Structure 1
Amino acid sequence: MALYIIAGIYVTKFIKNSNDFYVMGNRGSTLLITGTLLASLLSATTFLGIAGITYENGPPIFLIVFTSWFGTVLAALYTGRKLRALGSKTMPDFLEYRFGSSVRVAGTIIMIVGLIGYGLIQLMGAGLVLSGVTGLSYELMIILFVGVLLIFGILGGMWAVIVTDTIMCITFIVATLIIAPVAINQAGGLETLTGSLAAENPLYWSAGGAAMEMPVGWSIGQMVLWLLFMTAAPWLATRTFSAKNDFVVMKSALWMILLSTIMVTIFYLGVFAVRAINPGIQPADIVLVWMSENLVHPLIGGFGIAGIMAAILSTSSTIFIFAGFALSRDLYERISKKQLSEREKVAKARIGQMVVGVVMLVIGLSQPVSIYWIGAWSGALFAVSWLPVLIAGFHWKFVTKAAVLSSMIGGALSYIILYQMVDGWGLFTLPFHVDPVIPSVLFSFALLYFVSKVSKLDQQYIDNFRKYKSIALNDETIKQFKDNPEALIKEYRSTRRLAFGVSIVAIVFFGYLIIEVALKV
C-alpha cells in the first residue's frame, strides 16, 4: 500500500491538464495498458469468490463459463476503439455525441449505481475475509483501503490507476504462476486431479460443478453474462483511451488474453489441487490465503496474500476513479453548464472521487445485508442497459432518443425485477436455468427497435451518426506515423508477429493440458 501511495505521488508530475488526469495524456505504453487490462480483469472475484467455487466444485465450472477474457478483448478492440476514435474521455461522452445530454445523464446515473454496487460487494467481502486472516478489524481494513485509494487516485488520476495496476500484476503473477504450481505438485501432480479426485466425484470435472450440479443451460447463461457484461464494462473499454495508438491497444489485448487465460487456468487447477491436500477449508473463499500460509515460503506467501489485496485495490481504484469522473465530468459539468478551466476540471474530478469514497465507506462500514443483493445485479446493469445502446449507437442510424432512454431504463428495471423474482424470491426458474441477464438483454434490444419505430427521429441524430461513421478507427494512428511510414510498417509487422506468437504459445499450452487433463478424466 505504501508503494502504491508513493507511485501515486510520483506520477502527479505528469498531471498538467484534465486530459492527463482523465486519460494520462494518451501516453500509455503496451506494458502499462496490458498491466491495467490484466489487473482490471483479475479482480477480487477471481482470487476469492470464484476460487472458493472452484475449490468446492472443480475447475471446469469457471474455466468453461468464465468467458470474461473474450469480453475484455471486445471491450478493448470493439467498444474501446470505437469510442476512442471520437476522442472520448469517458463512455457517456459518446451518448451525448449521438443522442444528447439527457441520454448522457440517464446513462451516467445507471453507470454510477452499477460501479458503486460492483465495487462495494468486492470491498466488503474482501474486508471480511482479510480481517479474519490478519486479525485486524473489518472497519480498519475498509478505512485503510478507502484511504489508500483516495490518496493515489486523487493525486494521480488515471496515471496513478494504470501505473499501480501494472505494479499489482507482479503479485498476481506470484499467486498464479508460483503458488498454484506448488499446490499442484504437493497434491501429487495433475494425475491426482484426473485420478483420485475424479474418482471421488466425477462431477468435479463437469461444467455444472460437483456441489452446484447446474445444468448446461446455466453454464451457457454464465458465458453469455460474462461476455456481455465485460464488453460494456466502462473500466475496461475506457482503458484504450489512454493508449498511445491502435497498435498499443492491439498488442495489449493480445498479451492480456494470453496471460489471463494461462494464469487463471493454472490458478484454478492449483485451487482444485488444494482440495486433495485439505478438503476442509472454511470458508472456501480463503483458499488462496491457506495456500499462501501453508504451502510456500512466507516471503512468497506474503506476495500471494498481497495479490488478494492488490486485486481488491485494482478493482476498487477503477470504480472510484470512474464513478468520480461520472459525477464531475458527466453530471456536474453538464448539468451546471459552467465553463471550467483545466485546473477547475481536475479539482472537480478529485472532489467527485472523494464523494464516491465517502459514500462507499459509509455503506461498507454499515454492512447492510441488501448490499450483497445490490452487488449481485449491479455488474449486469452494464450488459442490459449500456451494451444494446452502444451497439445501436455504433451501427443503426434510425435509433431515436426515446428508444435509447426506454432501453437503458427499461432494460435495467427488467433485470432487477426478474433477478429478484428468480433468485431473490424464488417464484420460478427460467428455462434451462439461464441467467436473467439474457432475457433482459433481449428485452432491452426489443425496446430499442419498437420504440424507434413509433417515436420521432430527430434529423440531428442521423447527422451525428453519419459524422461518426465517416471517422475511420485508425485515423489517429495513421496521422501519428504520416511523417514516418517506415515506423508504421514496423509497428504493423511487430503486431502481426505477436499475434502469431501468442497463437503458437496458446496452442502448445492448452494442447498440453488437453492431453494431460481432459483426455485422462
Structure 2
Amino acid sequence: MVWEINDRTIDTRTLGIFVTVFFYLIILLTGYFASKKESGDQSSEGMLLAGRRMPSWIGIFTMTATWVGGGYIIGTSEAVYDSARGLVWAQAPWGYALSLILGGLFFAKKIRSFGFTTFIDVFENKYGKKVAAVLFIPALIGEIFWSAAILAALGITFATIFGLDLETSILVSASIAVGYTMMGGLWSVAYTDVVQLAFIIIGLGISIPFALNKIGGLEQALILYDQHIANGFTLFPSPGVFSGNDPDWGNGIWVWLDFALLLIMGGIPWQVYFQRVLSSNSDRSAVRLSIYGGICCALMAIPAIFIGVAGVGFDWSTSTLGTAPEATMVLPYVLLEMTPPLIAALGLGAVAAAVMSSVDSSILSASSMFTWNLYRPLIHPTCTDKQIKRTIRLTVLVIGIISTWLALTLQSVYDLWYLCADLVYVVLFPQLLLALYFKKSNHYGAIAGILVGLVLRFGGGEPIFGISPFLPYPMEDPVAGIQFPFRTFAMMASLLSIMLVSYLTHQRVQQKSTQ
C-alpha cells in the first residue's frame, strides 16, 4: 500500500516508522521536562509516589493509560474478531473496569490512610518482614513478566507490520521507557501517560470511521458481525448456560467465569495500581481516580472493539495479504489495510504509545517494591534516603534489562505472565483482603493460605513447568482441558485457610505478643 504525494511514493510502513519515532521523541521529551519540573522534590518519596501530591486529573489519566496498554487494546480486538470467541470473551474492558472501581470502593482509601509506600507494606505491618518478603515474590515477578510480555508483543507487531528487526524494536522501546523513568520516577511516568493516552485516543479514534466505511458503514458492519460471529453482540452469557446444557457453551461457561473473576479481583493486588492510589493528594482523590479510571478504562475499549468488528466484515481476499490475518494481528492489519496511510501510521503509533504507557509503569512498580520492601528492610536497614533514591534508579535499569532480555529470549513469556496473574489472584488477593478486613489474621494463617493456594493452583497442572494435573478436578475435557474453575476454587480455599488457621492460632499469637 502506497501514498502519492508530489509525484513521490511513500510506503505506509515507512510513514508509520516516522510517526512512531515522532511519538517516541515527544514521549521522551515529556518525561525529561517532567523530571525537571518536579526536580524540587528530591526525596525517595518523590520518585516513588510523586511526593503524595498527584492531582486527580493526572491520576485518572495515568491510571487509565497504565491499564489501557498494548495488550489491552490488541487483546480486545483479537477477542472480538475471533469467531470462536467473539465479544462475549472480550472480558478485559469490563473486568478491569470493575477491578478499578472495586479497588476504589474497598481498598484505595483504607490503604492510603495508613500512609503506606507500597501495598506490600500491608503484609509487613500485619505479618512481619519475612512473610511480606515471601508475598513480595509473586507481585514482583508478575510486574516483570507483564513488562516483558508487552515488549514482546510490540516487537512482534513492529517486525510484522513495519518489517523492522524484532530485537531493534524491543531494545529502542525499552530504552526510552527506562530512560525517562530513571530521570523522574512517577512524575515522568505520569506526565508521559497523559501524552500517551492522548495519542491512543486520537490515533485509534480517527481510524474507526475509515475502517467502517471500507465495509459500508457502521450499520453494515454490525450486520456482518452478527452474521459471522456465533454469539453476536452478546456481552454476557445468559444465566441459563450455567446448567451446562447449552451446546454453544457446555462447561466452557465455568472457564469464562473463572477468568472473569480473575480479572476483577486479581486485578486489584498490583503495585502498579496502588502506586497511583498512594501518590494521590488525598484519600478522596485516591477513591476518585480509581472509580473514574475504571470508567475511562471501559470507554477506551470502544475503538478496539470497533476495529475487531471491522476486521470481521472485511473481505481480506482483496487485501495485500490475500487472506484473513491471525486474530492476534487483526488490529495492526485493519489499520494497515482499511485506512489511509497517514491514518494507519497514526493508529500504529498509538499502539506503540499504549505499550510504552504500561511498560514504564510496571518497571517502576517492580523497582519500588524491590527497593522499599526488600533492600530497605532486609538488605540495608540503615540506608539513607539518598541511597534509597539511588537504588530505585539502579533497580529501574536492572529490571528494565531483565524484562527486555525475557522479551528477546523466551518464547513462552506470555504463558509465564498468565501464570503470574494466576498467582496474584490465588495468593495475593485473599492475603490483601484479610490483612485489611480480618483483625485476627496472622502470619500462621498467611503461610497456610500461601501453601493451600499454591497446591490447589498447580494441582490443575502447569505446562510451563511440565506439571500434569495431579488433583481430580471435575469437568476435564480431552481437548479443552480442565473446565472446572480451579483458579477461583484455589483462591477461595486460600482465603478460608487464612481465616481458619488465624482463628485457631489467635490466642497463641496474642500470648507471644504480650511476653
Q: What is the TM-score when the length of structure 2 is the normalising length?
A: 0.82
Match of 1:32 in 2: 58
Match of 1:514 in 2: none
Residue 120, structure 1, aligned to residue 132, structure 2: no
Say if 1:219 and 1:175 are closer, same or farther in 2 by CA, change over 3 A. Answer: farther
Q: Could you tell me how far apart the structure 2 residues matched to 1:453 and 1:423 are?
A: 35
Contact 1:79 1:237 in 2 (8 A): no
Residue 218, structure 1, aligned to residue 255, structure 2: yes
Q: Could you tell me how far apart the structure 1 residues matched to 2:249 and 2:157 are?
A: 26
Match of 1:438 in 2: 488
Superposed displacement of residue 60, structure 1: 3.0
Superposed displacement of residue 8, structure 1: 2.2
Aligned counterpart in structure 2 of residue 49 of structure 1, from 72, 75, 90: 75
Match of 1:263 in 2: 300
Which secondary structure does the structure 2 equivalent of 1:88 belong to?
Answer: coil
Superposed displacement of residue 451, structure 1: 2.1
Say if 1:64 and 1:360 are closer, same or farther in 2 by CA, change over 3 A. Answer: closer
Residue 342, structure 1, aligned to residue 368, structure 2: no
Q: Could you tell me how far apart the structure 2 residues matched to 1:399 and 1:56 are?
A: 44
Match of 1:76 in 2: 104
Aligned counterpart in structure 1 of residue 361 of structure 2, from 304, 315, 318: 318
Residue 357, structure 1, aligned to residue 383, structure 2: no
Match of 2:352 in 1: 309
Which secondary structure does the structure 2 equivalent of 1:203 belong to?
Answer: coil
Q: Could you tell me how far apart the structure 1 residues matched to 2:50 and 2:492 are?
A: 37
Aligned counterpart in structure 2 of residue 136 of structure 1, from 149, 164, 178: 164
Gaps of 5+ in 1: 464-521
Shifted more, 437-446 versus 72-81: the winner is 72-81
- Deviations 1:182-206 (Å, cap 9, x if unpaired)? 3234333443344333234443445
Q: Which amino acid aligns with 1:34?
A: I
Q: Could you tell me how far apart the structure 1 residues matched to 2:294 and 2:93 are?
A: 15
Q: Could you tell me how far apart the structure 1 residues matched to 2:486 and 2:29 are?
A: 43
- Deviations 1:59-84 (Å, cap 9, x if unpaired)? 23215884111001222342222211
Aligned pairs for 1:383-422 within 5 A:
383-420=425-462
Percent identity over the alignment is: 18
Aligned counterpart in structure 1 of residue 42 of structure 2, from 16, 32, 40: 16
Shifted more, 317-326 versus 426-435: the winner is 426-435
Aligned counterpart in structure 2 of residue 186 of structure 1, from 214, 221, 236: 214
Q: Could you tell me how far apart the structure 1 residues matched to 2:468 and 2:138 are?
A: 26
Say if 1:406 and 1:352 are closer, same or farther in 2 by CA, change over 3 A. Answer: farther
Aligned counterpart in structure 1 of residue 335 of structure 2, from 292, 298, 307: 292
Say if 1:398 and 1:195 are closer, same or farther in 2 by CA, change over 3 A. Answer: same
Which secondary structure does the structure 2 equivalent of 1:244 belong to?
Answer: coil
Shifted more, 298-307 versus 343-352: the winner is 298-307
Aligned pairs for 1:144-159 within 5 A:
144-159=172-187
Contact 1:232 1:386 in 2 (8 A): yes
Q: Which has the higher helix share?
A: 1
Superposed displacement of residue 282, structure 1: 1.8
- Deviations 1:151-184 (Å, cap 9, x if unpaired)? 0111111111111111110122124432234323
- Deviations 1:331-367 (Å, cap 9, x if unpaired)? 111112432222211101111112212222222222x
Aligned counterpart in structure 2 of residue 448 of structure 1, from 490, 498, 501: 498
Q: Could you tell me how far apart the structure 2 residues matched to 1:422 and 1:321 are?
A: 27
Q: Which amino acid aligns with 1:458?
A: V
Q: Could you tell me how far apart the structure 1 residues matched to 2:308 and 2:116 are?
A: 40
Q: Could you tell me how far apart the structure 2 residues matched to 1:361 and 1:411 are?
A: 30
Superposed displacement of residue 11, structure 1: 2.3
Match of 2:510 in 1: 459
Shifted more, 163-172 versus 239-248: the winner is 239-248
Q: Could you tell me how far apart the structure 2 residues matched to 1:64 and 1:336 are?
A: 38
Aligned pairs for 1:368-387 within 5 A:
368-387=410-429
Q: What is the TM-score when the length of structure 1 is the normalising length?
A: 0.81
Q: Which amino acid aligns with 1:216?
A: I
Q: Which amino acid aligns with 2:261?
A: V
Q: Could you tell me how far apart the structure 2 residues matched to 1:171 and 1:260 are?
A: 15
Match of 2:116 in 1: 88
- Deviations 1:255-276 (Å, cap 9, x if unpaired)? 3233332331343133212211
Say if 1:425 and 1:399 are closer, same or farther in 2 by CA, change over 3 A. Answer: closer
Gaps of 5+ in 2: 1-23, 238-247, 317-322, 476-481
Q: Which amino acid aligns with 2:278?
A: F
Contact 1:176 1:263 in 2 (8 A): no
Root mean square deviation of aligned Cα: 2.8
- Deviations 1:494-513 (Å, cap 9, x if unpaired)? xxxxxxxxxxxxxxxxxxxx
Contact 2:87 2:231 in 1 (8 A): no
- Deviations 1:36-66 (Å, cap 9, x if unpaired)? 1111221222222332222123323215884
Which secondary structure does the structure 1 equivalent of 2:267 belong to?
Answer: helix
Q: Could you tell me how far apart the structure 1 residues matched to 2:166 and 2:464 are?
A: 32
Contact 1:220 1:434 in 2 (8 A): no
Contact 1:41 1:69 in 2 (8 A): no
Q: Which amino acid aligns with 1:333?
A: R
Give the aligned length: 460
Aligned counterpart in structure 2 of residue 246 of structure 1, from 283, 288, 306: 283
Q: Could you tell me how far apart the structure 2 residues matched to 1:170 and 1:287 are?
A: 22
